């Protein structure tokens, strides 16, 4: 049974094509590794790579790419709009198929250990985090490359692997495991963004809502409507339909209705099947019954 993990490493180089290609080459022509996409942003001065594959080959390719970044990127000379703390800035592992989030956590720690041996400090984050205050990437990265030397002297910001001080030119990197994100938006029949925002605050985790929902109100200028824009951070625990129905019932008190929804980017099949099962009340359905899954076996 094929096991598949996704990895989305971010590199602090979005302008020098030669360096970008050298990094991306780490993921090309490797058995068991499939390069899905990479995109560089000049303003951010950052390249985001998306790859999938079997855990071991993905692990080796990622470590190879970190070595390339160490050799060719010097954070002392880096500037860009996107906050960053390392030449390779962040490495998330996402379980896709026949691979659990727990296995992704283990894989992330193996990679972190190997990177540590390259004399680069590693922070574990998200599900791999060694403490609750280190789950959130933004909190780890606060202070960025320039502030890291001072920050890492604090007890609560010691590295999980590798040296206790940032690498001179590389900086530090965050490695961790997370579930696939589902970006799901709900459009309302109002142009009042404060209503969308009020609903988002009720539905999201931080406001006492659903555990795996982040969200905010957004105004869609071209359509003149307000939208509840959400990220579902674990669709296996908080299904899309649950977020939608909660938006719907919270909207009622404002006399507002749902006029449509959007799924942005990629979404795991099961996230949609779960919702189909809910709305149609399908009993005892198994994803083995999906023809395409049977064919892929």
Q: What are the tokens at 142?
A: 């606060």
Question: Footprint of a second copy on residues 269-288 (CB under 8 A)?
Answer: 269, 272-273, 275-276, 279-285
Q: Which stretch binds a second copy (CB under 8 A): 40-48, 57-65, 226-234, 252-260?
A: 252-260
**Considering the complex, what minimum distance in angstroms separates the CB of residue 10 from a second copy?**
20
| Catalytic residue selected from 82, 133, 167, 205 | 82
Let me know if 78 is a catalytic residue. Answer: no
Q: How far is 169 from 74, CA to CA, in rounded Å? A: 5
Of 54, 65, 61, nearest to 96 by C-alpha is 54
* Cβ partners under 8 Å of residue 153, min gap 6: none
CA distances from 75 to 113, 148, 223, 294 (A): 22, 12, 42, 48
Q: Find the binder of a second copy among 24, 36, 71, 250 (CB under 8 A).
A: 36
Site string for a second copy, 93-132 (x = CB under 8 A): ---xx-----------------------------------
Residue 259, interface with a second copy (CB under 8 A)?
A: yes
* 53 φψ region: left (φ > 0), alpha (ψ -120 to 50), beta (else): left
Residue 256 DSSP one-character state: -
Contacting residues toward a second copy, per CB under 8 A:
4, 34, 36, 52, 96-97, 180, 187, 240-241, 244, 258-263, 265-269, 272-273, 275-276, 279-285, 289-296
Residues taking part in catalysis: 82
């Amino acid at each position: 049974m094929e096991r598949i993990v996704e990895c989305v490493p971010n590199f602090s180089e979005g302008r020098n094509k030669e360096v970008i290609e050298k990094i991306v080459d780490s993921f090309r022509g490797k058995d068991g590794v499939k390069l899905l996409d990479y995109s560089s942003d000049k303003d951010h001065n950052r390249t985001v790579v998306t790859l999938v594959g079997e855990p071991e080959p993905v692990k080796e390719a990622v470590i190879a790419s970190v070595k390339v970044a160490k050799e060719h990127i010097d954070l002392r000379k880096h500037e860009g709009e996107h906050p960053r703390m390392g030449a390779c800035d962040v490495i998330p592992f996402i379980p896709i198929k026949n691979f659990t989030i727990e296995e992704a956590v283990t894989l992330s720690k193996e990679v972190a250990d190997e990177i540590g041996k390259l004399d680069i400090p590693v922070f574990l984050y998200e599900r791999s985090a060694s403490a609750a205050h280190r789950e959130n990437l933004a909190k780890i990265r606060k202070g960025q490359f320039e502030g890291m030397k001072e920050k890492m002297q604090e007890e609560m910001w010691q590295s999980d692997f590798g040296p206790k001080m940032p690498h001179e030119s590389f900086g530090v990197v965050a490695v961790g495991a997370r579930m696939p994100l589902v970006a799901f938006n709900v459009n309302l029949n109002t142009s009042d963004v404060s209503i969308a925002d009020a609903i988002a605050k009720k539905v999201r985790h931080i406001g006492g809502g659903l555990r795996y929902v982040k969200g905010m109100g957004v105004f869609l200028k071209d359509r003149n409507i307000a939208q509840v824009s959400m990220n579902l951070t674990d669709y296996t625990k908080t299904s899309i339909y649950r977020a939608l129905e909660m938006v719907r019932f919270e909207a009622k008190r404002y006399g507002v209705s749902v006029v449509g929804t959007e799924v942005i980017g990629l979404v795991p099949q099961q996230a949609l099947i779960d919702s189909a099962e809910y709305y149609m009340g399908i009993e005892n359905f198994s994803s083995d019954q999906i023809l395409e899954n049977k064919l892929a076996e």
